[in-house]
Amino acid sequence: MTRTDYDDFLYRIRELHDLHQIDGWLQWDQQVTMPAGGSGDRAAQMATLSGLIHERLTDPRLGELLDRLADAPGLDDAQAANVRETRRDRDRAVRVPPALVQAFARAKALAFDVWQAARPADDFRSFAPHLEELVRMAREMAAHIGYAHEPYDALLDEFEPGMSAAAVQAVFQPLGTELRGILDGLEGAPEPRTDFLTRTYDPARQQTFCRALIADLGYDLERGRLDESAHPFTIGNGDDVRITVRYNPRFLPSALFAAIHEAGHALYEQGLDPAHRRTPMGNAVSLGVHESQSRLWENMIGRSPEFWAHYFPRLQALFPDELADVSAAEFVRAVNVVRPSLVRVEADEVTYALHILVRFDIERALVNGAVGPDGLPELWRERMRHYLGIAPADDRDGVLQDIHWAIGSFGYFPTYALGNLYAAQLREAMLREIPDLVAQVGRGLFQKPLEWLRERVHRPGRLHPAPELIRRATGAPPDASHFIRYIRTKYGALYNQAL
Ligand code: ZN
């Protein structure tokens, strides 16, 4: 058999995939099992590996292969998608000069260290020059990568290919207006009781419950693991997809919903088409779609009354004293409490997207050069008051609260809110096509929704960019109306208010 260009290409992209997976296992080990003393050596190992990945991706031989394959006859859709996606990754890698990549890596490491000290000290002034430097470099990278309308597009494209700042803005604009109206509608509604969430819950029993729950959802523990780490995460692809959570004995929802959230991510990775393993087609299409899977399972299924109709008696059996005076309805209201707060990671489903709008407005202005770091603390307060009606007194819970800008990730935030919007749109389509979905969830049966997601979202891999994937799965391009409808209906019922 003659060795074709595509075979040669396949060999190279599989090698690249393996190197990325190995990098993932080094990260998993670092966060789950590695002794603290190993961090210096580990940083060196990871730097070596990313150098190797960069070298392989920018190899001129791969470039020649991609050129020839671009107009090669006889490639099927999946093969053409592998060529297109590899071309995209490679273009991003070759366009930015190596000296800039290295300078950015050094600046990020330094900025992260400064941010770690600046946040608890509420000291934005020490962080500002580092942020300014990162923004300058990010703009320079955007100029090298190229963009259609504004520098922010080039950065967003790394996380949500196929989306532009203008397209995000078009979706976010009505979202902000509607959510603010819903918040106003909830003002003055009686507060649900939440006292029982902060009683003491034995971590070992929490773990037992989480493990059984994620197995019910369809997460395959023969091809996965559940461990503990400081921050929950999911890592891996195909036949080895691992998740972590953290058990807080004094706040029951923490691990419970983190487990469902991470299982949602893991179901996506486990559900990618095995026929395309170790190629772009066997990988997730975007961070927004990834987040749609975690949010759909965590919030739309996992925080629904029907879900807890089935699971609350089981949870109560595991914690008979702690939950003796609590009903399933009270539990559902408690885990869906809406309360505008200063901190994004603690936000509820209604206010979460508003936190993202604050960040999107600010980072877009930063990257496009409309504001400098000096004006940020005040701009942050102004945007918070605009969207959430509250503002932090300090910068610790203001402009310093997130890690993203400190590690140079500009353009990442929108993917969180896009995930919510995609999830609601997928849920609506699913409800149309699985009329007994609510009844199924109410019996702890998740086969039908999982199979629906497998077919429409997981197995297509990177065949189409996210907006097109959503359009094909739901019959309409992404927009905010589905999410707004979902929020109005759910919270109108929970709070007994006309929203
Ligand atoms: Zn997530």
Q: Is residue 84 located within the same domain as residue 231?
A: no
Same-domain pairing of 142 and 170: no
156 lies in some domain: no
CA distance 191 to 184: 14
Using the 3D structure, point to which of 146, 179, 204 is the last residue of a domain: 146
Structural domain contains residue 248: yes
In a domain, 259, yes or no: yes
How confident is the model at residue 73, as a pLDDT?
Answer: 87
Q: Report the mean per-residue pLDDT for the chain.
A: 96
- Ligand 1 geometric centre to CA of 292 (Å): 8
Task: Tokens for 464, please give them.
Answer: 């189409």
The residue with tokens 């005040």 is 378
Q: Does one domain contain both 103 and 198?
A: no
* pLDDT of 84 over the 90 cut: yes
239 in the same domain as 137: no
Nearest to 428 by CA among 468, 476, 469: 476
The pTM assigned to this predicted structure is 0.96
How many domains does the chain divide into? 2
Are 119 and 223 found together in one domain?
Answer: no
Name the domain boundary from 88, 116, 146. 146
Domain that holds residue 112: 3-146
Predicted local confidence at residue 87, as pLDDT = 97
Q: Residues 6 or more apart from 270 whose CB is under 8 A from it? A: 219, 220, 223, 224, 238, 239, 241
Q: Is the pLDDT at 3 greater than 80, yes or no?
A: no
Cβ atoms of 275 and 321 within 8 Å: the answer is: no
For the chain, give the longest Cα–Cα distance. Answer: 74
The pLDDT confidence band at residue 72, using thresholds 50, 70 and 90, is confident
Instruction: Please indicate, yes or no, whether residues 273 and 421 belong to a single structural domain of this protein.
Output: yes
**157 is a domain residue:** no
Task: Write down the pLDDT at residue 395.
Answer: 98
Residues 223 and 269 in one domain: yes
pLDDT at 71: 84
How confident is the model over 454-480, as a mean pLDDT? Answer: 97
Question: Are residues 439 and 379 part of one domain?
Answer: yes
355 and 419, same structural domain? yes
Please tell me whether residues 76 and 218 are part of one structural domain.
no
Between CA 238 and CA 278 the distance in angstroms is: 9
What are the residue numbers of the active site? 262
Structural domain ending residue among the three candidates 115, 146, 177: 146
pLDDT at position 2: 55
**What gap in Å lies between CA 460 and CA 462, rounded to an integer?**
6
Residue 1: per-residue pLDDT:
44
Distance 417 CA to ligand 1 centre (A): 11
My answer on whether 258 and 197 are in the same domain is: yes
Q: For residue 276, give both structure tokens.
A: 């395309």
Kindly state the average pLDDT of the residues 434-451.
Answer: 98
pLDDT digits (tens, 9 = 90+) for 324-374: 999 999 999 999 999 999 999 999 999 999 999 999 999 999 999 999 999
Residue 69 lies in a domain: yes
Ligand 1 centroid from CA 363, angstroms: 20
Q: Angle, nearest 10°, between helix axes 253-271 and 287-295?
A: 130
Reported as a single tens digit per residue, the pLDDT across 319-336 is 999 999 999 999 999 999
Q: What is the mean pLDDT of residues 390-411?
A: 97
Distance 171 CA to ligand 1 centre (A): 20
